Chain A
Amino acid sequence: MADSTGQVTADREIVISRTIAAPRELVFEAFTDVRHLSQWWGPTGFTTTTRAFEFREGGSWDFVMHGADGTDYPNWITWREIDRPVRITLLHGDSADDPNAFESVLTFEARGETTHLAMRTVFPTAELRDQAVKEYHAIEGGEQTLGRLADYVEAQERR
């Protein structure tokens, strides 16, 4: 893939996609209101406290993410482009002046009765990508699916 300046971004991007059995308008809707976002944002066990929320281009979402272990993570998002119900481009960091904030583009594609949701995140540099992976890994601890899977498989092997 290439970014808007034509540069190849493969070493500093992460793409995550999912097909959801619901109409596109509804999936998009879940990204537009803090009432919805607070219900699903973050892995299992995470909660959020919102300080400010304004869903419009140039608007922002200022919130704290609470990890399952009680750790707080400040978060800040601003919406750069909102093309309802097709695409959302946002900048995500820990505060409004975070120099390491990164851009994510969410695309919503209607496929019959389902919606194909893709989130493409391009980090400013490969180093920042690796750093984010490490930080999110730390946030999640050993709680998450692949990690749990490895633990589970290990436990099975010890039996």
Chain B
Amino acid sequence: MGGVARAPTTSDAFNAIAEPHRRQILELLKERERPVLELAEELGMTQPSASKHLRVLREVRLVRVREVGKQRLYGLDARGLRPIHEWAGGFAEFWNESFDRLETYVQDLKKESDHGR
């Protein structure tokens, strides 16, 4: 790795998450820590490809790794998440949370109308 010129994707969290597979990896890691093989299977890609994406995500501090016994588990890293949240967070999250509530509310409406029949 050493000596290789860094592409912008490996130095900037925003560029790193422009790649859809890397966003999928973050979604999967949001649920829980996972080993690379499991991530590769979930994404339908080879282990070397998954490792390459994980390396990029680690360099921008969106993902970290820890050793548990013989296993290397990948998880989210708050250091890279924070600036993204601060940039995009407010407005989108306001509405994502509203839509969470809307979803629950509409389910209740649906039950009511089903009962009312």
Contact = CB atoms under 8 A, between A and B. Distances in A.
Interface of A: 14, 16, 18, 20-23, 26-27, 29-30, 36, 39-44, 117, 119, 121, 132-140, 144-147, 149-151, 153-154, 156-157
A127 to B, nearest CB: 14
Contact of B30 (A29, A44, A149): A149
Looking at A121, A146, A151, A157, which has the most chain B CB atoms within 10 Å of its CB? A146
Looking at A39, A135, A138, which has the most chain B CB atoms within 10 Å of its CB? A39
A30 B109 contact: yes
Contact of B106 (A16, A26, A121, A150): A26
A16 B95 contact: yes
Given A26-B113, A151-B78, A139 B94 contact: yes
Contacts of A36: 105, 109
Contact of B94 (A40, A42, A117): A42
Given A40-B104, A133-B88, A144-B90, 12 more contacts: A14-B92, A23-B110, A43-B93, A117-B99, A136-B90, A140-B89, A144-B93, A145-B93, A145-B97, A147-B89, A147-B93, A151-B78
Interface in B58-117: 64, 75-78, 81-82, 84-107, 109-110, 113
Contacts of A136: 90-91, 93-94
A55 B96 CA distance: 23
Contacts of A151: 78
Nearest to B82: A150
A39 to B, nearest CB: 5
A121 B95 CA distance: 11
Contact of A147 (B30, B64, B85, B110): B85
Contacts of A144: 89-90, 93-94, 97
A140 B90 contact: yes
- List the 8 closest pairs (A to B, CB-CB), nearest first: A137-B90, A136-B90, A43-B97, A40-B101, A153-B78, A144-B93, A154-B78, A136-B91
Interface residues of B, number: 35
B91 A18 contact: no
B85 A146 contact: yes
Contacts of B84: 146
A78 B40 CA distance: 48
18 contacts: A18-B96, A18-B103, A20-B103, A22-B107, A23-B110, A39-B105, A41-B101, A133-B89, A136-B93, A137-B86, A137-B89, A137-B90, A144-B89, A144-B94, A145-B97, A147-B89, A150-B78, A157-B77
A25 to B, nearest CB: 10
